[in-house]
């Protein structure tokens, strides 16, 4: 076959070298690669590719040297697909590099120009290189206009200015052919500094150049936030508010006209390329509400004074701040494991951040850690604050008092081993809060091993809302699935939580939705208790109070309990550079990922991993330095992590007593020493106390802890013995508020993951002692539950 081919040529007849090059291009592209090509082909009934065939292509990735693109092209070739068809598909796909592989060899573009972002004053270079059987000529265009003097392979613009930003393309001519390169976008950032005529080369790494700035606006004004990074290819942007991605906010500049109080919050931007990701600083945007005030007798005043804006507190109810503590206990040491709490906490975290809540989300806390976390939360409840506390895990209820069970509770457990909900409520009532919401997603069966009687007197207040996932003396169910699931309560709550309605109205509608759910009808029902006399809603705007008060400082520290250290680049003496990045599943679960971004050309083998973590942390060596997030147990966060890295998951950060120090180990082999063992280099890294570790939840329980308000006759808590006294008071001292003023990093992220089985776990209670003699909370999802599965649901004692 000749070096050129007719468009009617079957792709099964293409030369091996052409197929190999085409597959390399399609395999490496995550956006315009073989998966997207398969979707396009599937829309053409002549060459339809089924989902089973696509799965076969995916399995080729697991083979040594396997190419999913080659498998897909062979399937298309078997169905008679021609070069003309494939060219049309690649044109629709927008993969010009792959399309070039099918071009006749008398004119071929070997080097395509790449998009780039650079600083104003730097030199700009775009390159396009082509070969042909005759002389090749070049002409560069900016949009549709020819670039003067742009008739060489390299387009060089000295000291690029803002006017040079835009889209560029190169036309390549020979005697008998004409081709266009791919488009290249040029973004020029103006940072207000002149860099002269010196040429600053771009090594492809992202470099943050413009940080967004905090803003204080009035309702009705326009919000303008800007950030910027330089790099090649051009960075991608995604703005977030309260750690939740904003729809259609994918440009450097974020513009929101006519802002409302709901637009207030903490903003940051995620900047990424194909191999890197970084975050801008997180900035505060506050919105002061404005209302129209009409003069009662306009005829007695000037027309200009008839209507005007009054910059004062609105008539609508508002919060001075919004804070939330979410606890999900699932990995119990002495009791059955749970599944849904992890997903429930993740879902609620994202929703509450959309409502401008400062959220701390924690998994698997011991008794002392739960008490300290609740104490920190109670310190935030000041006048006008909206506070929300959510708990999912094991629990029970005796004589109208509910108890939350920590992960280290013994079997059987008693009130002294658990947190009394009513004792926490009593402390909440002592605050002048605007709204207190307590959501309990746990079992409320009687605990026959605990014969203590309550001794708690609650006073009447008008700002408390209780939401129980199930009724008194009832159990909740966990219907397992092969995918991520929510509990029954959160399954319906998340559909209503963002509604702009009084919180009791929202919960009433959730109760109605749960009542229509066939899987648990007659077995689990939401119970609501409320003393709320005003129309308080979770969507109410925030009008901040005194920014210099201790309450405000503590609130800021609470907000920073989910923030991460900034990513860093480590340089080794051998010439290797490693990108070290961080992400958060929860406020006490950290993900570390490493990526080699530069190595010497003569280094034939290079690998980096992290090790030597503190013994305080729960780190499984088998789940460290894995090639995919899923191998470490990270599932819901995996899509937001950069690819081609090694991932390590660190949980139980609340146990960290000192700053987090670990070792980055590098091993490599050079071509000249191929027969020798790999050479090792190490670097020690200190990232301080990340996430919840800042709050020191590992400390002894304070004297004024919520533990002291739950006094039960006949319980160890009421008449503590010597051992219990030692647990409470050994080494105690006054709270150290100086830690609230620590300087902290300004970057964060969030998500969660988990896997589940295919069984049904109804909770029950046995009167005989043993592993299954305690109440078991269960919860679940279940859009895909079929009738036959629901009918098989039965209550069985554990």
Catalytic positions, written as ranges: 394, 443
Contact 193, 226 (CB under 8 A): no
Going by C-alpha positions, the residue among 271, 352, 139, 194 that lies closest to residue 566 is: 271
Contact 177, 93 (CB under 8 A): no
The 3-state DSSP class for residue 388 equals: strand
Residues 6+ apart with CB under 8 A from 606: 576, 596, 599, 666, 667, 668, 669
Sign of the CA dihedral with 721 first, then 722, 725, and 727 last: negative
Going by C-alpha positions, the residue among 363, 360, 391 that lies closest to residue 376 is: 360
Tokens 């073989």: give the residue.
34
Rounded Cα distance between 795 and 691, Å, is 41
The 3-state DSSP class for residue 504 equals: helix
Tokens 């909440």: give the residue.
428
- CA distance readout (Å), 423 to 56, 404, 420, 456: 58, 11, 5, 7
Label the pairing between strands 419-420 and 401-404. antiparallel
Rounded Cα distance between 564 and 739, Å, is 17
Alpha helices in 643-758 (DSSP H): 722-729
C-beta atoms surrounding 673 within 10 Å: 13
Tokens of 590: 């950290």
Sign of the CA dihedral with 342 first, then 348, 353, and 356 last: negative
Q: What stretch of H or E contains 40? A: helix 34-42
Q: In what order do the strands lie in the sheet with 464-468?
A: 358-363, 321-328, 385-392, 435-441, 464-468, 527-530
Tokens of 53: 């065939």
Contact 265, 285 (CB under 8 A): yes
Q: What stretch of H or E contains 353? A: helix 340-354
Contact 502, 565 (CB under 8 A): no
Cα distance from N-terminal residue to C-terminal residue, the chain: 73
Contact 174, 136 (CB under 8 A): yes
Tokens of 275: 């191999």
Contact 464, 497 (CB under 8 A): no
Alpha helices in 533-598 (DSSP H): 550-559
Rounded Cα distance between 377 and 382, Å, is 11
Tokens of 623: 């789940």
Tokens of 531: 């003393």
Q: What stretch of H or E contains 170? A: strand 166-173
Sign of the CA dihedral with 196 first, then 197, 198, and 201 last: positive
Residues 6+ apart with CB under 8 A from 505: 499
C-beta atoms surrounding 457 within 10 Å: 7
Contact 612, 685 (CB under 8 A): no
Rounded Cα distance between 361 and 325, Å, is 6
The 3-state DSSP class for residue 468 equals: strand
Going by C-alpha positions, the residue among 262, 280, 147 that lies closest to residue 212 is: 280
C-alpha R_g of the chain: 31
């Amino acid at each position: 076959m000749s070096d050129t081919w007719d468009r009617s040529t079957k792709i099964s007849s293409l030369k091996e070298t052409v197929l190999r090059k085409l597959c390399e291009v399609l395999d490496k592209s995550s956006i315009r690669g073989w998966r997207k090509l398969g979707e396009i082909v599937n829309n053409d009934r002549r060459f339809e590719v089924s989902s089973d065939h696509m799965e076969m292509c995916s399995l080729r990735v697991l083979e040594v040297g396997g190419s999913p693109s080659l498998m897909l092209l062979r399937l298309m070739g078997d169905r008679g697909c021609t070069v003309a068809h494939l060219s049309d598909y690649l044109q629709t796909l927008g993969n010009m590099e792959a399309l070039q592989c099918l071009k006749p060899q008398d004119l071929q573009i070997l080097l395509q120009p790449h998009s780039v972002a650079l600083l104003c004053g730097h030199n700009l270079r775009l390159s396009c290189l082509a070969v042909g059987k005759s002389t090749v000529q070049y002409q560069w265009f900016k949009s549709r206009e020819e670039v003067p003097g742009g008739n060489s392979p390299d387009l060089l613009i000295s000291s690029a200015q803002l006017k040079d930003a835009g889209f560029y393309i190169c036309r390549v001519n020979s005697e008998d052919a004409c081709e266009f390169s791919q488009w290249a976008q040029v973004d020029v950032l103006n940072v207000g500094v002149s860099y002269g005529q010196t040429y600053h080369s771009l090594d492809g790494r992202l470099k943050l150049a413009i940080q967004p700035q905090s803003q204080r606006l009035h309702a009705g004004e326009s919000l303008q936030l800007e950030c910027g990074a330089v790099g090649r290819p051009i960075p991608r942007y995604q703005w977030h508010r309260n750690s939740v991605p904003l729809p259609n906010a994918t440009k450097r500049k974020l513009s929101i006209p006519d802002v409302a109080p709901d637009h207030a919050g903490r903003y940051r931007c995620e900047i990424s390329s194909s191999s890197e990701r970084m975050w801008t600083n997180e900035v505060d945007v506050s919105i002061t509400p404005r209302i129209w005030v009409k003069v009662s007798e306009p005829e007695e005043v000037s027309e200009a004074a008839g209507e005007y804006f009054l910059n004062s507190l609105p008539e609508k109810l508002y919060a001075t701040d919004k804070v939330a503590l979410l606890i999900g206990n699932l990995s119990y040491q002495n009791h059955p494991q749970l599944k849904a709490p992890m997903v429930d906490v993740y879902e609620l975290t994202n929703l509450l951040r959309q409502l401008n809540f400062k959220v701390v989300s924690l998994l698997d806390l011991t008794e002392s850690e739960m008490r300290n976390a609740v104490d920190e939360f109670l310190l935030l409840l000041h006048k006008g604050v909206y506070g929300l506390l959510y708990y999912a895990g094991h629990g029970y209820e005796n004589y109208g008092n509910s108890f939350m069970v920590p992960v280290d509770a013994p079997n059987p457990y008693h009130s002294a081993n658990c947190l009394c909900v009513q004792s926490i409520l009593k402390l909440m009532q002592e605050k002048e809060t605007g709204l207190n919401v307590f959501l309990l997603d746990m079992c409320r069966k009687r605990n026959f091993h605990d014969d203590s009687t309550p001794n708690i007197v609650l006073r009447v207040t008008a700002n408390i809302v209780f939401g129980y996932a199930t009724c008194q003396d009832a159990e909740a169910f966990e219907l397992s699935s092969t995918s991520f699931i929510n509990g029954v309560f959160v399954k319906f709550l998340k559909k209503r939580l963002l509604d702009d309605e009084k919180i009791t109205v929202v919960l009433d509608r959730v109760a109605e939705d749960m009542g229509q759910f066939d899987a648990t009808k007659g077995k689990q029902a939401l119970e609501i208790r409320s003393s709320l006399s005003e129309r308080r809603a979770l969507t109410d705007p925030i009008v901040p109070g005194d920014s210099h008060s201790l309450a405000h400082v503590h609130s800021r520290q609470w907000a920073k309990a989910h923030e991460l250290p900034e990513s860093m680049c480590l340089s080794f003496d051998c010439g290797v550079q490693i990108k070290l990045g961080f992400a958060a599943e929860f406020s006490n679960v950290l993900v570390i990922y490493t990526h080699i971004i530069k190595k010497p050309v003569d280094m034939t083998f290079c690998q980096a991993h992290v090790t030597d973590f503190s013994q305080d942390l729960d780190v499984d060596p088998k789940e460290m330095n894995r090639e995919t997030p899923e191998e470490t147990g990270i599932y819901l966060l995996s899509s937001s992590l950069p690819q081609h890295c090694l991932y390590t998951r660190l949980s139980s950060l609340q146990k960290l007593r000192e700053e987090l120090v670990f070792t980055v180990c590098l091993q490599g082999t050079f071509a000249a020493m191929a027969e020798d063992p790999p050479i090792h280099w190490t670097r020690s890294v200190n990232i301080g106390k990340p996430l919840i570790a800042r709050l020191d939840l590992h400390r002894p329980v304070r004297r004024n802890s919520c533990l002291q308000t739950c006094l039960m006759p006949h319980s160890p808590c009421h008449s503590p013995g010597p051992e219990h006294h030692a647990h409470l008071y050994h080494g105690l001292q006054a709270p150290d508020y100086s830690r609230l003023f620590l300087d902290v990093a300004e970057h964060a992220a969030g998500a969660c993951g988990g896997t589940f089985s295919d069984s049904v776990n109804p909770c029950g209670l046995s009167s005989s002692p043993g592993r299954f003699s305690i109440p078991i909370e269960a919860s679940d999802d279940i859009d895909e539950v079929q009738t036959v599965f629901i009918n098989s649901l039965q209550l069985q004692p554990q």
